[in-house]
Amino acid sequence: MRRLDEYYVFNNWDKRGSFRIGCPFLKNIMRIKISTRVVFLFKNFVIKIPIDYRGYLQGKNERQTWDNYKQSGKLCPMIWEIFGIVCQNRCIPIDKINANKVKEIKKLIPTFDFDNCDLYNPDNWGTYNKKEVLLDYGVNEQISKMYKCKTY
Ligand SMILES: Nc1ncnc2c1ncn2[C@@H]1O[C@H](COP(=O)(O)OP(=O)(O)O)[C@@H](O)[C@H]1O
Ligand SMILES: [Mg+2]
């Protein structure tokens, strides 16, 4: 017999603190991840909704980073942003990220070059059109220090 939590909650907290929930009838349409933003994952796009002021600033900063560096091909394409809510193309998750890749993007985007940045976390990367791209590009040093994420 299936346990109730298998039906309504799958994966719970993942290794980096995102919470994934889903119902059987939604499973193939959409997943949800929660960290500083609630992320609705649809088949071809995602929508990130801030749950606090930091999440709002991340969305705004993500938009600015996209506007400045979209030609680099190193960022997951953004479709639109409004009031800190971001819509991006959906990427395929990856398990690890090469340190050189992180060095490369820090060189390209100097605001990412600070200690304890989250760029070494593969959850913030994915593949889009078979290329590794950064999908979480809204954090700068100031935002990262706003309130530290709890470690579980
Ligand atoms: N474009 C995307 N494609 C696929 N998954 C995504 C995308 N954007 C976010 N996610 C998933 O949602 C999680 C949280 O999104 P992220 O942009 O990293 O927000 P946060 O700033 O809250 O960490 C990511 O770790 C990833 O698993
Ligand atoms: Mg992230």
Mean pLDDT of 71-85: 97
- Which residues are CB-contacts of 97 (< 8 A; sequence separation ≥ 6)? 119, 120, 121, 122, 125, 132
Tell me which of 136, 140, 148 to substitute to probe ligand 1's pocket, judged by most ligand atoms within 8 Å of the beta carbon.
136
- Structure confidence at residue 95 (pLDDT): 94
Confidence of residue 19 (pLDDT cuts 50, 70, 90): low
Q: Is the CB of 54 under 6 A from ligand 1?
A: no
Residue of 114 and 77 predicted with greater confidence: 77
Would the pLDDT of 17 be above 60? no
- What is the residue-averaged pLDDT of the chain? 83
Residue 133 forms beta bridges with which residues? Answer: 126
Minimum CA distance residue for ligand 1 atom 2: 90
Residue of 127 and 22 predicted with greater confidence: 127
Which ligand is closest to the CA of 125, given by its number? 1
Would the pLDDT of 10 be above 80? no
What the block records as the tokens of 55 is 């999440």
CB-count exposure of residue 89 (10 Å: 0-12, 13-18, 19+): middle
Q: Is the CB of 50 under 6 A from ligand 1?
A: no
* Cα 2 to ligand 2 centroid, rounded to whole Å: 32
Would the pLDDT of 6 be above 80? no
Q: Is the CB of 140 under 6 A from ligand 1?
A: no
Which ligand is closest to the CA of 139, given by its number? 1
Share of the chain above pLDDT 70, in %: 76
* Cα 116 to ligand 2 centroid, rounded to whole Å: 13
- Structure confidence at residue 130 (pLDDT): 95
- Structure confidence at residue 120 (pLDDT): 94
* Alpha-carbon span 19 to 6, nearest angstrom: 14
Global pTM reads: 0.82
Confidence of residue 5 (pLDDT cuts 50, 70, 90): very low
